Structure 1
């Protein structure tokens, strides 16, 4: 199947590691140009050697900072065809009792998972409207469809909110030829935070998680990237407002 991404410009947030980095590499392999965005400037360095990749570091959680960074991308690289919002995650947090959750922890996860996706979509949608086409793919989670395996209240709530934002943007932007979809990964060992969570589960809980997956294995960052690439392609031109679970089959 030909995805027809040659020379199209995509923006990928959360590009420095894990799922985001795998998406960047997958897009490059399909001939796309990529603006890789992340708050971790040093983490973007390994992407510098990839053809067609331009790195931008900055905080996307505030509207002003996000708009400025997105504007820099357009000024330097030209019109953006697609946006993939992989920024997010648990930000190093682990489960704790409801009574122990502090406001800064709650805000940090919402800023990373929901706010960044909103402000970047707001920044790039006008250009896509002008072009009459575009792709937006958010990275949500199984935790956006059901209670979270991690037990982190803010993460579950934020991913549910991101699914809602995805569906709302699909309704609003569809008439302009812009598709908006989400990929909802199952448990993927893709970065230090997810590895920390996995270790915290302990052997018995780890076995339960794997046995609850039809394929009897955890996912990889590349598994998620493959689904994203399809939704970014011309082959997915009549798919919008959907949440694609990529979780190996969840019992």
Structure 2
């Protein structure tokens, strides 16, 4: 056993993760089966979690789901992220310049996690809720991050999460994607045209931390025709400059462009 390991805490976290991954509320027996614990042990832990607001019990069904306290913690975590604070003014500037939806994401084990966005005044656009997750192979933010990772790691992540097809334009062949990542690495600008959503194009660039590792990305997303009218090259260059500025403020001190 790892030094400092507390079994009860470990079990409580297992239960929270099971509830988080379930699309419906769960009963004590079902939770116990999923985490490998006797239902009496699960019941005791659930009572404590309910008292603290991390889990809520449905009176009619005797089932459990995550409580509002979990949401509160997530919001506090996101608000305190340095990258979110640093990126704020750049996201606002991009949104003002192009009047399209701007996203900020973090990389988490082969997925992108949307942690901030700025809306467009346009009625038609692309919207992602904060905390939602997306695939990397079909999004500009994901491809921007992948382009800055070693090929061995890229292949591992693609195998881990898979490469499902969302549209006819979605790349589902790792070799084709890796070839594309080589071009993205040269320019620092990633484009995903109708690869995740029909009629939508997103343009993104990676954000690097002080170690030089890509920790996230930013993008501008909108309907293809509208984005083309505003100039894809112009949008890409503005995003790239914003990404470089954010990376610099996070301590990335290599040459002006992190791309070879």
Q: Which has the higher contact order (CA 8 A, sep 6+)?
A: 1
What is the TM-score of this pair, normalised by structure 1?
0.29
Quick check: which has more Rg, 1 or 2? 2
